[in-house]
Amino acid sequence: MARATLIGFSAVAMWALLALLTDASGKVPPFLLSAITFSIGTGVGLVARLFMPAAEKSPKIPPQVWVIGIAGLFGYHFFYFTALRNAPAVEASLIAYLWPLLIVLGSALTPGEKLAWNHVVGALLGLAGTVLIVTKGGGLAFDARYTFGYAMAAVCALLWSSYSLLSRRFPSVPTSIVTWFCAATAVLSLGCHLALEQTVLPNGAGQWLAVLGLGLMPVGAAFYAWDIGVKRGNIQVLGAASYAAPLLSTLVLIVAGVAEPSLRILAACVLITGGAALAAKSLFLRKPAAAETEATASESGAAA
């Protein structure tokens, strides 16, 4: 379980590169950028298959898994882009980033999971840190004129948290299925681009390299790692730790010289790190016997 949780958190680390690489990709419209990067993400899955041991028999994929996967990947991005078009970016982003808290709270409804006080408090501390990062220490101004945009952002949060929680109900479905979720998202994004946007391609090698980086990591390998994490890791810890994404993203921008360090970022770091540590308390203090039992159960589920 601990190993799967760390793999899942590697997705959060990769998502921290999203802002920097997106900014470096130029003025490519969002749906076109999504189509290109998810195509690359599909390639990541196809290449990974070459290094995986051949399965004796491909498991039958339940129809609902396809709905959950495509709605999660494409649906989240569709509604997120719609939210940004219809509401201020700060408020829309903060509402959309309620998904880690929803994962922590929703995990109580997942078979075999138990929600503890430290999971909830840890997620709330992470949310407080995220507010500092997203609002840049300023206030929030929810305006009734942007109600539609706010609603679209809320749908984002519900879709991604639901995708993460429901994926856990199908541990026998191999992570390689994410390859086809990415492919479907690429095709649907291209359709939205052709219907809604004007084509603007990356300009120069630097922008194309940024797009390639997006497809390989934040919009590629990250989704495969997240699938492993939510299916076999500690989902409450993952949910709370996911609030580290905006913090890590800001730190990456600081290192790249795009943003400036501040006491606000330090405070956010303390809140998010403390919240993640609190949420993971039970994982760190787990008795060896219990850990061994869970590892055996995880291995059995993976074998199945």
The three-state (H, E, C) secondary structure of 220-253, written as one string: HHHHHHHHHHHHHCCHHHHHHHCCHHHHHHHHHH
The per-residue pLDDT for 169 is 92
Q: What distance lies between CA 212 and its chain's CA centroid?
A: 18
The per-residue pLDDT for 258 is 81
The per-residue pLDDT for 182 is 97
Q: Are 144 and 279 in contact (CB under 8 A)?
A: no
The per-residue pLDDT for 27 is 94
Q: How confident is the model at residue 97 (pLDDT cuts 50, 70, 90)?
A: confident
The overall average pLDDT reported for the chain is: 87
pLDDT of 127-183, one tens digit each?
998 888 888 777 777 788 889 999 999 999 999 999 999 999 999 999 999 999 999
Q: Are 73 and 185 in contact (CB under 8 A)?
A: yes
pLDDT of 27-39, one tens digit each?
999 999 999 999 9
Q: How confident is the model at residue 70 (pLDDT cuts 50, 70, 90)?
A: very high
The tokens of 12 are what?
A: 């959060």
Rounded to two decimals, the pTM is 0.85
Please determine, for residue 57, whether its predicted confidence score (pLDDT) is greater than 80: no
The per-residue pLDDT for 167 is 95
CA distance 247 to 274: 13
Q: Are 255 and 37 in contact (CB under 8 A)?
A: no
More confident residue, 73 or 57: 73
Q: Are 178 and 69 in contact (CB under 8 A)?
A: yes
178-196 and 63-70 are packed helices; what angle lies between their axes, rounded to 10 degrees? 50
> Which has the minimum average pLDDT: 8-22, 49-63, 146-160, 163-177?
49-63
CA distance 229 to 283: 14
